[in-house]
Amino acid sequence: MKILISNDDGYQSPGIAALANALQQFSEVTVIAPDRDRSGASNSLTLENPIRARQHENGFISVNGTPTDCVHVAITGLLEEEPDMVVAGINNGANMGDDVLYSGTVAAATEGRFLGLPAMAISINSFSPQHLESAARAALELVQRLSDPSLTTEMILNVNVPDLPWSEIKGYQSTRLGHRHKAEPVYKERDPRGHPIYWVGPPGAEQDAGPGTDFYAVRSGYVSVTPLKVDLTNHQQLQQTAAWLKDI
């Protein structure tokens, strides 16, 4: 089995090394990741500039682009053989609820959705994780389980792991995405010339975060596994939209 590993924290992130290390025990691994932190890049592609790939001493390949660039370029030409699946992470910080819309980690997995096996994004619930080995172990267990070719392709799993020693993790839970409140305000400052500048603020607090959600599972000490789909159509509103269009 061949696995393509990427992330949005950059090829030097400890999380991607932990993930590559774990999955190497089970499969042939190629690491292609952004050359710097591209968290929040979502599904963006670089269209106006050339994309360059550089191989490093440890075999990892860095790309001067986004997570989606990395996976797109890898599976459409850079790699000689198509991988069976993409695994993205281990991201510094959880990607739960509305975070998945902005996440480059989830985007990297999404870009691998047409390969032979389900794609997976994996994140740990801390910005300075102490227990990457727990998330790496969860990644390995899940990938071993996913290597069954009868599983549907186009399946994307969004995995979030509590930053706890493995012995304190209670197991796996399948979850739905929760929701957050509106984001916190931007930080507004002045640059040295007196012009206003803005820093994007923190995400909103958890809103829909009760039992059944990713937020709840991780808070309760479980590895949260959410199946995602890319269809953004609001099927429930199709009829209403058609009716409304008639009146124009």
Binding site for Mn ion (CB under 5 A): 8-9, 39, 91
The residue (of 23 and 108) whose beta carbon lies closer to Mn ion is 108
Angstrom distances, CA of residue 43 to CA of 48, 63, 193? 16, 15, 34
At its nearest, how many Å lie between Mn ion and the CB of residue 28?
Answer: 25
Q: How far apart are CA 208 and CA 178, in angstroms?
A: 5
Angstrom distances, CA of residue 164 to CA of 90, 168, 229? 14, 6, 29
The residue (of 33 and 75) whose beta carbon lies closer to Mn ion is 33
The residue (of 27 and 95) whose beta carbon lies closer to Mn ion is 95
At its nearest, how many Å lie between Mn ion and the CB of residue 122?
Answer: 11
Q: Write down the H helix ranges in the chain.
A: 14-24, 67-73, 99-102, 104-111, 132-146, 214-219, 238-246
At its nearest, how many Å lie between Mn ion and the CB of residue 104?
Answer: 6
SS3 assignment, position 223: strand
At its nearest, how many Å lie between Mn ion and the CB of residue 9?
Answer: 4
The residue (of 9 and 35) whose beta carbon lies closer to Mn ion is 9
At its nearest, how many Å lie between Mn ion and the CB of residue 91?
Answer: 5
| Closest residue by beta carbon to Mn ion | 39
The tally of CA atoms less than 13 A away on the side-chain side of residue 243 is 5
Q: How far apart are CA 157 and CA 216, in angstroms?
A: 17
At its nearest, how many Å lie between Mn ion and the CB of residue 177?
Answer: 17
Which DSSP helix (H) or strand (E) runs through 5? Answer: strand 2-6
Q: How many CB atoms lie within 10 A of CB 195?
A: 8
The residue (of 27 and 89) whose beta carbon lies closer to Mn ion is 89
The residue (of 68 and 91) whose beta carbon lies closer to Mn ion is 91
